[in-house]
Amino acid sequence: MTQSLKDKLVIILLAAVIAAFSITFIAIEEQVEIFALLVFAAALVLGGAKLGITASIAQSLARNERLMNFAFIAATIAVVFWFREDHFPLLMIATVLLYVIACCGLNIQFGFTGVVNFAGAAFFGVGCYTAAVLGDTSVPLLLVILLGGIIAAIVGSVLIIPVLRTRGHYAAVVTIAFGLLFRTFLEVNDTLGGPQGLGVSGMNLFGWDFNNNIEISENLEISFYMNYVVLALIMVILTFVLMRRIERSWIGLNFDAVRLDETAAACFGIDIKRWKIVAFTLGNFLAGTAGALYAMMLGFIAPSNFAFSDSLILVSIVLLGGMGSLWGTILAAGLVVLLPEKLQVIQEYRFLIYAVVMILILLFRPQGILPRGLRAYIPGWRG
């Protein structure tokens, strides 16, 4: 069997295993079974790493990037299709997808460029409130998603001067203060619903109402969340392509140079301010678009959704996955969103356990679960 054929088989098999695992994980309800599945998966991954299988799979993946991307999209579609009639699993999947988009935004900001942002949930929230306010107007809803991003970017521009002038902890405080300010503002502002929040109209695309179940036949009624999953998946793919293209271009290189050594970067003509502005604005834009669709999907938003702890969750996803690592972000978003939902036993203890796990990861695997590799400008090309 040739190398390339073997690679392809490995990839397809891997995608199939991931799809099967995800379906099982989402479908089973028994706590014991869920625990067993998690332990099994952990053993598989650790064992694979020990035997060098993980490394050889990684090589197969790197050699066939295009196929890998398609295989994983196919796997996602398979999972989504499996749960076509069930509201809750689809809601969870869509939530994971939207978190992925928001965390990609954060990745541009501090994974790539080193601009810390502890107000991720606030920019996500700007998108949500944009959708809530514009939802009832005649603005086309697809445009509302775009506007959610644009308005988040504009709101973010208020912070550009302090963010550009500060570094490290000082920059962290700017965004933490903004996050708290944003939430307090929402709570006391009556026009935006105060602490009770606002209702949001669902997505409607050229007359296609996203909030109605899709009746295919008498015994097949697809959950209306499918609409949101599909749209979110399209948005994730677009975001992913954008992120990849940024990373594999001179822009990505400039971002890295700014993050790693501002002084050296400036001595080689890199405009620190320009790239920080680009990264900060683009990141907030992505968070805003994700927020807009999220609000339409939930149909209701309140200030308590955008607390400091929610910003922390977004930051943790980025760190858990590995700074700047796209696949890492996807995996981490899945874990962080799904685990607490599935492990009902720990529901009450979930923040506690989650915080302990984060501490352990930061202490023992600070590079994240799937660390970002070196930049491959052109996949498979090494000069």
Partner 1 sequence: MDVGLLGQFVVNGMMLGMMYALVAVGFTLFFGVLDVIKFSHGDVLMVGTFAGFSTYLGMTAIGIDNAFIQLIGVLVISIGSMAILGAVIARYLVLPLKSAPPLNTLLVTLMLGTVLREAIRLFYPDGSNPKHFPALLPTDSWSLGSFTLRSDSVILLVGGLLVIVGVNMLINRTRLGLAIRAVAQDEETAKCMGINFKMIVLLTFALGSGVAAFAGVMNGLYYNEINFGMGLLLGVIGFSAAIVGGLGNIYGAILGGFLFAGLQTLGAVALPFASAYKDVFAFAVVIAIIAWRPTGLIAEKTSERV
Partner 2 sequence: MAQQQETVLTFRGLTRRFGGVIALNKFDMELTNGQILGLIGPNGSGKTTSFNVLTGIYEANGGSIEFLGQDITSWPAQKVYEAGVARTFQRSRLCLELSIFDNIMIGNHKRLNQGLLFNIFQRKALKEQIQENHEEARKLLKIFDPALAEKMFDPVGSLRMIDRRRIEICRALISHPRLLLLDEPSAGMTHEETRELMDDILEVREMIDGLSIILVEHEMGMIERVTDKCIVLNFGQKICEGAYRDVASDKLVQEAYLGGE
Q: Segment near partner 2 (CB under 8 A), from 50-58, 195-203, 218-226, 241-249? A: 241-249
DSSP states along 354-378: HHHHHHHHHHH-TT-SS------SS
Q: Which is nearer to partner 2, 127 or 252 (CB)?
A: 252
CB of 126 to partner 1, least distance (A): 15
- Report if residue 377 touches partner 2, rule: CB under 8 A: yes
Amino acid at 382: R
Q: Which is nearer to partner 2, 1 or 378 (CB)?
A: 378
Q: What is the DSSP letter of 114?
A: -
Separation of alpha carbons 285 and 235, rounded Å: 13
Residues with Cβ within 8 Å of residue 99, at least 6 apart in sequence: 290, 314, 317, 333, 336, 337
Using the rule CB under 8 A, which residue among 81, 271, 344, 345 binds partner 2? 271
Amino acid at 98: L
Q: Segment near partner 2 (CB under 8 A), from 10-18, 76-84, 209-217, 373-381? A: 373-381
Using the rule CB under 8 A, which residue among 1, 5, 32, 267 binds partner 2? 267
CB of 172 to partner 1, least distance (A): 6
Polymer length in residues for the chain: 383
Comparing C-alpha atoms, which of 197, 189, 66 is closest to residue 128? 197
Q: Which is nearer to partner 1, 198 or 315 (CB)?
A: 315
Q: At what angle do helices 87-106 and 326-342 cross, to 10 degrees?
A: 140
Separation of alpha carbons 51 and 72, rounded Å: 24
Q: Segment 195-254, which members bind partner 1 (CB under 8 A)? A: none
Q: How many CB atoms lie within 10 A of CB 173?
A: 14
Residue that is written with structure tokens 């036949």 in the block: 217
375 binding partner (options partner 1, partner 2, none; Cβ < 5 to 8 Å by kind): partner 2
269 binding partner (options partner 1, partner 2, none; Cβ < 5 to 8 Å by kind): partner 2
Separation of alpha carbons 215 and 175, rounded Å: 46
Q: Segment 263-282, which members bind partner 1 (CB under 8 A)? A: 263
Binding region for partner 2 (CB under 8 A): 242, 245-246, 249-251, 253-254, 256-257, 260-261, 263-271, 278, 374-378, 382-383
Which residues are near partner 1 by CB under 8 A?
Answer: 110, 116, 159, 161-162, 165-170, 172-174, 176-178, 180-181, 184-185, 187-188, 263, 308-309, 312, 315-316, 319, 348-349, 351-352, 354-356, 358-359, 362-363, 366
